[in-house]
Amino acid sequence: MNYSGCVMDGLLHNNAKRPLISFEFFPPKTAKGEERFWEALEGLAPYRPDFISVTYGAGGGDRENTGRLVCQVQEKLGLPAMAHLTCIGEDQAVLERMLDHYRDNGITHILALRGDRSDRMAPDALEKGAFQSARQLTAFIRRRHPDFRIGVAAYPEVHPEAASPEADLAYFQDKIRVGADFAITQFFYENAALYRFTAANRSAGVTVPIIPGIMPITDFKQIKRFADLCGAVLPDWLVTRLAEAREDVEAMQRIGIQVAVEQCRDLLRQGVPGLHFFTLNRSDVTSAILDGLGLKPG
């Protein structure tokens, strides 16, 4: 399969003979964490990712770190970098400053997000921000910086705050219509959910690339917490499989890698344009999955 036609419109892509591959990192909060951040990046760099993305904390909690690290990744490692940008509780002037900062430092891709509420926010933080939704933020970025490539989030299993699956689908399509070039999904483990979501959007005339987000499982309690927060489903077959290794860290990691390889193989057979890995700032598990898929370094 030639992948370039699937993803070049609105996405960085450097190899037409393989799917787009991207890695997501979060800004570390300590010097030791930053050391691990760079170690993980250097461990995954040989896989020649099409881009590295760096997250942005709710309410701008990691704003400065994200702004610095995104630019350093691109400059030091020569890897294209995409900045996450959230609008919850943010002033327009702050968002304008961040966008100008990225433009001036050669960053061309932005992931536009509302952002999650956090305990440190005031109850009315969302209402006090310049924009109350990712749709509004996307439209603003498109007007202010028409040359940026803008990504948005997608929820194959429905956003936990959505009024209904139909409302969630319509909202996603609105984000595309106001200027988004591509989408990256929340993690999921039932591929049928992505296929239904993609088919519904194609039927509605949405043609942008929809890149599945892949969350490797290394800790059952951790993945259960993540799933509860974002509304992802942990299917019975997966819970049963993971139960075999509840107290065995190495066995849990082995099963998590196997599950991810199986999931990604099926996704690639069905023609997804790429795979976006949530690395949790470590390289070993993601590299093992890529090796298992035959997507080795070089």
pLDDT of residue 151: 97
Task: Give the distance between the most distant pair of CA atoms in the chain.
Answer: 52
pLDDT of residue 8: 44
Q: 142 exposed, middle or buried (CB, 10 Å; 0-12, 13-18, 19+)?
A: middle
Q: Greater confidence, 188 or 90?
A: 188
Lowest mean pLDDT among 4-18, 66-80, 244-258: 4-18
pLDDT of residue 245: 85
What is the mean pLDDT of the segment spanning 71-91? 92
Residue 125 has pLDDT above 80, yes or no: no
**Tens digits of per-residue pLDDT, 166-222?**
999 999 999 999 999 999 999 999 999 999 999 999 999 999 999 999 999 999 999
- The band of 34, judged by pLDDT with boundaries at 50, 70 and 90, is very high
**CA-based end-to-end distance of the chain:** 19
Residue 104 has pLDDT above 80, yes or no: yes
Lowest mean pLDDT among 12-16, 117-121, 165-169: 117-121
Contact 107, 152 (CB under 8 A): no
Centre a 10 Å sphere on the Cβ of residue 6 and count the other Cβ atoms it contains. 19
pLDDT of residue 89: 83
What token pair was written down for 169?
């689908």
- The band of 10, judged by pLDDT with boundaries at 50, 70 and 90, is low
pLDDT of residue 1: 45
pTM of the entire predicted model: 0.92
Residue 225 has pLDDT above 50, yes or no: yes
Closest CA to 184 of 27, 50, 45: 50
When the pLDDT of each residue in the chain is averaged and rounded to a whole number, the result is 90
Distances (CA, A) of 259 to 57, 215, 279, 283, 288: 29, 10, 15, 17, 12
The dihedral of CA 167, 6, 205, 192: what is its sign? Answer: negative
Contact 75, 46 (CB under 8 A): no
Cα Rg, the chain, nearest whole Å: 18
pLDDT of residue 118: 60
Contact 161, 174 (CB under 8 A): no
pLDDT of residue 2: 43
Using the 8-state DSSP alphabet, how is residue 46 labeled? G
Contact 176, 152 (CB under 8 A): yes
The residue to which tokens 């300590």 are assigned: 30
d(CA 7, CA 13): 7
Residue 3 has pLDDT above 80, yes or no: no
Domains of the chain with CATH codes: 4-292 (3.20.20.220)
224 — phi, psi (to 5°)? -65, -40
- The band of 238, judged by pLDDT with boundaries at 50, 70 and 90, is very high
Residues annotated as catalytic are: 24
Beta strands at 149-154 and 109-113: parallel, antiparallel or unpaired: parallel
Closest CA to 47 of 71, 75, 79: 79
Best mean pLDDT range from 52-61, 239-248, 262-271 = 262-271
